[in-house]
Structure 1
Amino acid sequence: MQPKINWIDNLRGIACLMVVMIHTTTWYITNAHSVSPLNWDIANVLNSASRVSVPLFFMISGYLFFGERCAQPRHFLRIALCLIFYSVVALAYISLFTSINVELSLKNVLQKPVFYHLWFFFAIAVIYLVSPLIQVKNVSGKMLLMLMVIIGIIANPNTVPQKIGGVEWLPINLYISGDTFYYILYGILGRAIA
């Protein structure tokens, strides 16, 4: 068994707190008419600062599994058990407190999580699945920065389009689509930074 890496556990704990912060401040941001401008500003800053939490989780997994080690069956079992447990809790909540169709939620369980907030288990499973195929090489800090700028800004399909003289120059289309690409990229980045 691998020894515990304390700083990873601490970083994971901080990322968990950030996720809680995102969920607790969202109401203030989406209901600006019901809160004071100061409370909205504070909630917005806390929510925005906490948005690094999801990439942190993928970077932690990449650090752990995109090197010499890869995800093992016990890691998949842990994800599956967590997904089942929280899906049961979510189904109980849905059936007791919402008008969401429980039968439809169960029917679509392989397409999307029972409760939206469980999407992470599906995404992290992909990181675990590709972990035997990816071993990140050592790269210089300059190369890493250049790749991050190209993939994270210049070629990011979520970058706000920029035009000069009617010609769109940003983002450059490198056929990067879907969030999964970025989740894997965060994992690779987590390993490369190490």
Structure 2
Amino acid sequence: MIPKAKTKTLWIENLRAIATVSVILLHVSSPLLYAHDESLNSYWWLGNVFDSAVRYCVPVFVMITGTLLLPQEIDLKVYFSRRISRILIPFLFWSLVYICNDLLQLRADGKSFAVHDIISFSISHLLYGASYHLWYVYMLICLYLVIPFLGRWIRHSSEKQIQYFLSLWICINAVWLFGNFGNNTVFYFGQFIGYLVLGYYISTKDFKLSLKVSDKVALLLYLTGVVVTLLGTYIVTERTGKFSNIFYDYRSVSVVASATGIFILTKNNAFTVNRHVSSLVSLIGKLSYGIYLVHVLVLYFLDKSGINATFIHPLIGIPLTAILCLFLSMLVPLLVQKLPYGKYIAG
């Protein structure tokens, strides 16, 4: 029997590990969608299936943050010092690594740089993102700024007020999806704040359903979200003649549904296979931020070595590349931690 306190920690560790693996699967499979968006062949469909199935990954990370932080009474000094050491320092280090890698690649392509060019290039990349996946960290930092105030509000709100907030958030997402408002700031702003509140609400709410019924509802939510994302992407892409990611957007109601389903399923079930698998899952969870920061660099060098989703048929190539990327992305922060002061930059 797993102690109750450990069970709570366990499902969050499991959920973090699932989201980490899902991010890698998403970034391995997504290039197929852009490479084959004109023919919509079997490669495109496999990319669409994998991508739709794991689209919940980033929302789930945010929901975990809401679960862990919104219930807490926060001492601002301690809170921000921990965020700086845990989030900001590794982010800055790995951003510089990505910048250096880009500069080296440009140099290899024959481009020369003066000192002021390097400085300008570095500042620009730090401001706008040194790699495509690092947008998440900028967004996360913004969420951390509002969590102390959001947490105080939510702890003093009634259940109906929280339900009203979530209903309003979902309606705004639906209006954005079908109203074609693009990245209008009003519709974009509340996107991830809603996921913070959703994670808190699900983790604290007793839905008064049996575990069996709750699991069925959660599975239905997940599968419905995946199918709507998958078919919606296909229909819009076919009609417009070019790849459309509107259903992939984290504001999409179908992504909200799949993220909610995965969250509830994992919360309800403390999956344990054996101690070796449990130890691996725990390690992935603990290294999740470092894995997230470094995995795109790992994918870059794997691709340079000819290993990607299509080095063999994608049905096998996607999971194999993702597994290899996962273990290398775990190894890097583990090795960095062994360097002097490495624990501060590994992630």
Do the two structures share a fold, i.e. TM-score over 0.5?
Answer: yes
Tell which structure's C-alpha radius of gyration is larger.
2
Conservation of the 8 A alpha-carbon contact between 2:62 and 2:196: yes
1:151 aligns with 2:159: no
TM-superposed CA distance for 1:102, in Å, is 4.4
Q: Give unpaired runs (5+ residues) of structure 2.
A: 112-116, 204-347
1:139 aligns with 2:147: no
% same residue: 25
Q: Write the distance in 2 (CA, Å) between the matches of 1:118 and 1:126.
A: 13
Q: Give unpaired runs (5+ residues) of structure 1.
A: 163-170
Choose the corresponding residue for 2:66, options 53, 62, 68.
Answer: 62
* SS state at 1:159 partner: helix
Q: 1:103 to 1:72 in 2, by over 3 A?
A: closer
Superposed CA RMSD in Å reads 3.3
| TM-score normalised by L of structure 2 | 0.45
Q: Write the distance in 2 (CA, Å) between the matches of 1:64 and 1:28.
A: 35
TM-superposed CA distance for 1:60, in Å, is 0.7
Q: Write the distance in 2 (CA, Å) between the matches of 1:138 and 1:93.
A: 50
**Matched residue type, 1:5:** T
TM-superposed CA distance for 1:178, in Å, is 5.4
Aligned length: 180
Choose the corresponding residue for 2:146, options 126, 130, 148.
Answer: 130
TM-superposed CA distance for 1:179, in Å, is 3.4
Q: Write the distance in 2 (CA, Å) between the matches of 1:114 and 1:74.
A: 23
Higher relative contact order (CA 8 A, sep 6+): 2
Conservation of the 8 A alpha-carbon contact between 1:62 and 1:186: yes
Q: Write the distance in 2 (CA, Å) between the matches of 1:113 and 1:154.
A: 28
Partner of 2:196: 187
* SS state at 2:61 partner: helix
Give the 4+ runs in structure 1 shifted more than 6 A.
33-36
Choose the corresponding residue for 1:76, options 64, 78, 84.
Answer: 84
Partner of 1:168: none
Superposed CA offset, 1:42-93 (max 9, x none): 2101101211111111111111111124445212321112211211210121
Conservation of the 8 A alpha-carbon contact between 1:25 and 1:43: yes
* SS state at 1:51 partner: coil
Partner of 1:85: 93
Q: Write the distance in 2 (CA, Å) between the matches of 1:20 and 1:155.
A: 26
| TM-score normalised by L of structure 1 | 0.76
Q: Write the distance in 1 (CA, Å) between the matches of 2:18 and 2:190.
A: 24
TM-superposed CA distance for 1:159, in Å, is 1.7
Partner of 1:43: 47
Q: 1:103 to 1:115 in 2, by over 3 A?
A: farther
Name the structure with the higher helix share.
Answer: 2
